[in-house]
Chain A
């Protein structure tokens, strides 16, 4: 008689859960990219239109796009090898922090914007 292998199903379920969680958060992080990308596309044209094209905050615009792209893989790495709950918690905090950072970047860009007109 061999000892029963306990927990194999649980490990598989955890792995499946981790993949599903990663996919769900990938979509949410992609949504977090919408505003920065639209800012990157629209804001330079807006600045040009008002004759302040030289003051386009390129660094902040690129930073806004880079934030979710960097934080998502970072959160995945941080959650590697942890239980499913911990992974989901880390990804949730990462998503919330992403939005907070993006609002911060937008506020800084607005503060640096020269007066129009």
Chain B
């Protein structure tokens, strides 16, 4: 026979428990809202002003993204060219494999940075996205290509 001590406490609101059961860990981080049962609290309506602000933010994000497409594309092409002129100077296979792996990742660095910024700032305001994209352009400057280009221009200047 069960004693009263062993019994679970009385339910405080079955609707809340059901809602809780439909919620998954990490939903808040991912920005997902838990589904609600029929009859439970309706989700609050987004005011029209907020919708307009959101729309403006979305337009700003899109504009920022489009503006950065060309520089990132140029960086990718520049790194492809730059990598052609680099060599490890090593004859050992592990060093060569490591070097090739590095070159492969280097070519992917600019598109990866761009895609990662887009993915990770999806729900942010435009400014963080612009900031991260600008930082990427600063970090990923294709120095080997820039220096080769500079040397080529100097040679061309000397010839003419």
Contacts and interface: CB of A to CB of B under 8 A. Distances in A.
A97 B140 contact: yes
Interface string B86-124: 101000000100110111011011101100100110000
B79 A1 contact: no
A8 B102 CA distance: 38
Question: Chain A interface secondary structure, helix, strand, loop or mixed?
Answer: helix
A10 B24 contact: yes
A90 B97 CA distance: 24
B106 A96 contact: yes
A8 to B, nearest CB: 7
Nearest to B86: A103
Contacts of B21: 3-4, 6
B116 A103 contact: no
A104 B116 CA distance: 22
Contact of B119 (A11, A31, A32, A89): A89
Contacts of A66: none
Interface residues of B, number: 41
Most interface-central of B9, B20, B105, B108 (chain A CB within 10 A) = B105
Contact of A103 (B20, B30, B139, B143): B143
A81 B24 CA distance: 16
A61 B27 CA distance: 45
B47 interface: no
24 contacts: A1-B11, A6-B25, A7-B23, A11-B26, A14-B26, A35-B102, A83-B26, A83-B30, A89-B116, A89-B120, A92-B116, A93-B109, A93-B112, A96-B108, A96-B109, A97-B109, A97-B113, A99-B102, A99-B103, A100-B106, A104-B141, A106-B144, A107-B86, A107-B143
Which 3 residue pairs are nearest across A and B when measured between Cβ atoms? A7-B25, A104-B143, A96-B109
